[in-house]
Structure 1
Amino acid sequence: MTLFFFVIALELKRELVLGELRNPRAAALPFFAALGGMLVPVVIYISILDGQPGVTGWGTVMATDTAFVIGALALFGKAIPASLRIFLVSLAVFDDVGAIMVVAIAYGDTVDLGALALAVGCLSIVYFMARIGIRSIPMFFIVGFAVWLSFDASGLHATIAGVILGLMTPARAWVGDERMRTLLGKATDHPRGEHWSGNTTERSDLQTAGRAIEEALSPLERLEIMLLPWVGFAIMPVFALANAGVEFSGITLNEPVLLAIFAGLVIGKPFGVLLFCWIAVRLRLAKFGAGLDWGFLAAGAMLTGIGFTMSIFIADLAFVPTLIPAAKAGIFAASAAAAIAGLLMLLRRVVRKPATI
């Protein structure tokens, strides 16, 4: 899961530095939406379980399952505006980063300050390695592994290492466009013939051009390309299969934890997202992307109630074993309800003909 959060943090930084969220007002909309989508569900959850067992599991209703939200949007293809996908993916990333920070602080063990200091020292090494131009990704992985071990030993949840390292990853390419064109020009300017064997200038130019092509992508983009298939097709399915099993026998629909999770995800998430979006827009702190309107936003807000993988992950940390079955049942029910409602709202919005004047 540390690798999952590492990739999530990479996606967030890419959008903030290179993508659609470079505009502060464009980034503000998913940020405020994520903030509302975390705070309001927690308030509802705590209100329902006030003083009852399981009240400390409030973190379960904070996060959104990014993969399921993207999958739901993919069903509609180009029928929905690209700005909706960017908004929901950014919201989910903000959500997940916020949730894991809460996990690290609220559900970690007693903090070992020595191990935490060691983690900070290792992070400093990563920072200076990037500053002095070290380009070896294996070297960064070795120091990153030391960061992970240090956080794990400190008592904070080790997945926070993935978030911090992801946000620290350089988003600028080591070789700029002009430099790459110059090197490629040198490699292609040679006359045709056998110039590429032996210790020749031509072969050296070709090798340099090959390295330039590789390093024309930023470390952030290279790591995303490298890790995304492993996270999407190996880590997440294995995690979901390993943690989704729950015994439903003996669980009733009036279980307080089940009801609190269901209300937090199905009611609290969309209401919080819409409320904070409305506040941000009214205060002119944020703006809608092209093609995005309140109808699409409401459907997207409902989809944020799909907690599934992230909620299960937090539930396993937050609840005592006797409450985990009811918590997972609530997560499954809420995620299914939010997905169905969100898809129906999107379908209605897509097929509805625009009003004529």
Structure 2
Amino acid sequence: MIKKVLVTPFQKFVQIESFSGILLLIATIVALIWANSPLSIYYTQLQEFKMGFTSDSFTLSKPLILWVNDGLMAIFFFLIGLEIKREFLIGGLNSAKKIAFPLIGALGGVIIPVAFYLILNNNPDTVRGWGVPMATDIAFSLAVLNALGKRVPLSLKLFLTAFAIVDDLAAVLVIAIFYSANISLGLLGIALGLLAFLYFLSYKGYYSKFMLVSLGIVIWVLFLKSGLHPTLAGVLLAFSVPVMQKIKTITFIENLENIVSNIRQSPVLEEPILSKEQKSVIHNLEGWTKKYKSPLQNLEHKLHDWVGYLIIPVFALFNAGVAISGDMNLETVLVVNIVVALVLGKSIGVSSAVLFFKKIKLIQVPSDITNRHIIGVSFLAGIGFTMAIFIASLAFADTPQYIDSAKIGVLLGSLLSAIIGYIVLRIKSK
């Protein structure tokens, strides 16, 4: 019974991520078809459509594609921050023993692809793209794993999720350090001060959605204007959301029993509405329920659907549309470099690191995960769609030619990684 209770929430998470991967694929196909159709002019106009407001002392006006990449993606990064905090406090990464397996895989999957990219790169103008092949797209990769059904154990999905979260943490740090503009320390200091205030409130056990949203918007604007990428505000804000419930399960059950008893004793009206006593009891129930829920868990649960079913597909729709034509000026070496770094760099990095440390017995791999599983999932780690395209848009912001080349490299590399990983995991070992 306990195992079922523990596994079911993760299985629901996998289902959301898998369907999100399908929507992501559909949005990518739509964007590619639209960008290469006679209606492509409307695709470009949609990306460049300016929105915002201007006053005498303040201006915030950006093309729609930047509102998606800087605004909507901040919510995506906020969810990543919630996942990272939960995993490190109470999840699969909350002890040295638990984190060792996915951490080793993630480190191998970050260092080797970057090394591949830097070794193969022969153009000083494209060296900034070294961060593109770093992160794994959890939605796409879990969608492929889910398509394999019972051919892969649940522990393999747990491993993929855990090391993808570590990958995301590494990508967040890389964006903060290497892909931010000249930083205004004054504005950044104000933002960090507001964050420190939220952390203090969280430490004292106080949590308010209104305060989180209102101060969150201010912090996002301060990050944007300071030169630090605003999506990082989403990650840092997530760390201010408390994990702990205000009341324990035993207390909640006791109050729930009293509430049920009061409902039974309350008068029932003939009309299809609640009596005054019933309304009072229900109001009391809602108050106790809010106290019983973990703020972080509740917020993460609510955001998963919005991020998986709306934000990520919208991001793909706005960013995956590359106009492919015979006369387009592609940087072929960059395309090949990213494909090799994703397909070979990720697979060699993850599998060799895990298998080596497993051999010398510094990590413990679950008994139902075979070497074939590790090799297969290491290829799936090369599916770097969302974060890879996002980093490419930051690295080559001033050179659209390189952005298009990087996107094609990401698309091809992710596709090849998905196909090879699927075949390896589908074929049963003798």
TM over 0.5: yes
Q: What SS class does the counterpart of residue 317 from structure 1 fall into?
A: helix
**CA distance in structure 1 between the aligned counterparts of 2:95 and 2:369, rounded to whole angstroms:** 16
2:395 is the counterpart of 1:314: no
Range with greater deviation from structure 2 (207-216 or 340-349) = 207-216
Give the aligned partner of residue 311 of structure 2: 235
Give the share of equivalent positions with the same residue, in percent. Answer: 37
Q: What one-letter code is carried by the residue in structure 2 that aligns with 1:243? A: N
**CA distance in structure 2 between the aligned counterparts of 1:155 and 1:17, rounded to whole angstroms:** 31
The CA RMSD over aligned residues, in Å, is 2.1
Range with greater deviation from structure 2 (140-149 or 66-75) = 140-149
Q: What one-letter code is carried by the residue in structure 2 that aligns with 1:211? A: G
**CA distance in structure 1 between the aligned counterparts of 2:164 and 2:152, rounded to whole angstroms:** 18
2:399 is the counterpart of 1:341: no
Range with greater deviation from structure 2 (122-131 or 162-171) = 162-171
2:277 is the counterpart of 1:192: no
Give the aligned partner of residue 293 of structure 1: 370
Range with greater deviation from structure 2 (296-305 or 317-326) = 317-326
2:202 is the counterpart of 1:130: yes
Q: How does 1:16-165 map to 2 (within 5 A)?
A: 16-165=88-237
2:151–2:425 CA contact under 8 A, matched in 1: no
**CA distance in structure 1 between the aligned counterparts of 2:102 and 2:231, rounded to whole angstroms:** 23
Give the aligned partner of residue 33 of structure 2: none
2:202–2:240 CA contact under 8 A, matched in 1: no
> For 2:403, which of 313, 317, 324 is the aligned residue?
324
Give the aligned partner of residue 346 of structure 2: 269
Q: How does 1:158-173 map to 2 (within 5 A)?
A: 158-173=230-245
Q: Against the structure 1 CA distance between its residues 40 and 7, is the aligned structure 2 distance closer, same or farther, given a 3 Å change threshold?
A: same
Q: Against the structure 1 CA distance between its residues 100 and 251, is the aligned structure 2 distance closer, same or farther, given a 3 Å change threshold?
A: farther
Deviations 1:198-231 (A, max 9, x none): 3x5x754542332222332211111112211111
**CA distance in structure 2 between the aligned counterparts of 1:153 and 1:290, rounded to whole angstroms:** 50
Unaligned 5+ runs, structure 2: 1-72, 269-273
1:183–1:208 CA contact under 8 A, matched in 2: no
Q: What one-letter code is carried by the residue in structure 2 that aligns with 1:330? A: G
**CA distance in structure 2 between the aligned counterparts of 1:186 and 1:221, rounded to whole angstroms:** 26
Deviations 1:269-313 (A, max 9, x none): 111112222344345443213512211111101001011121111
Q: What SS class does the counterpart of residue 93 from structure 2 fall into?
A: helix
Deviations 1:140-169 (A, max 9, x none): 111222222222122111111112222342
Q: Against the structure 1 CA distance between its residues 301 and 127, is the aligned structure 2 distance closer, same or farther, given a 3 Å change threshold?
A: same
Matched positions, count: 349
Unaligned 5+ runs, structure 1: none
How far does residue 28 in structure 1 lie from its aligned partner after superposition?
A: 1.7
Q: Against the structure 1 CA distance between its residues 290 and 152, is the aligned structure 2 distance closer, same or farther, given a 3 Å change threshold?
A: farther
**TM-score computed with the length of structure 1 as normaliser:** 0.91
2:137–2:164 CA contact under 8 A, matched in 1: yes
Q: Against the structure 1 CA distance between its residues 22 and 100, is the aligned structure 2 distance closer, same or farther, given a 3 Å change threshold?
A: closer
Give the aligned partner of residue 215 of structure 1: 291
Q: What one-letter code is carried by the residue in structure 1 that aligns with 2:89? A: V
**CA distance in structure 2 between the aligned counterparts of 1:107 and 1:301, rounded to whole angstroms:** 26
Range with greater deviation from structure 2 (166-175 or 98-107) = 166-175
**CA distance in structure 1 between the aligned counterparts of 2:266 and 2:409, rounded to whole angstroms:** 69
Deviations 1:77-117 (A, max 9, x none): 23311111111111111112211221222111001111111
Q: Against the structure 1 CA distance between its residues 12 and 292, is the aligned structure 2 distance closer, same or farther, given a 3 Å change threshold?
A: farther
Q: Against the structure 1 CA distance between its residues 253 and 113, is the aligned structure 2 distance closer, same or farther, given a 3 Å change threshold?
A: closer
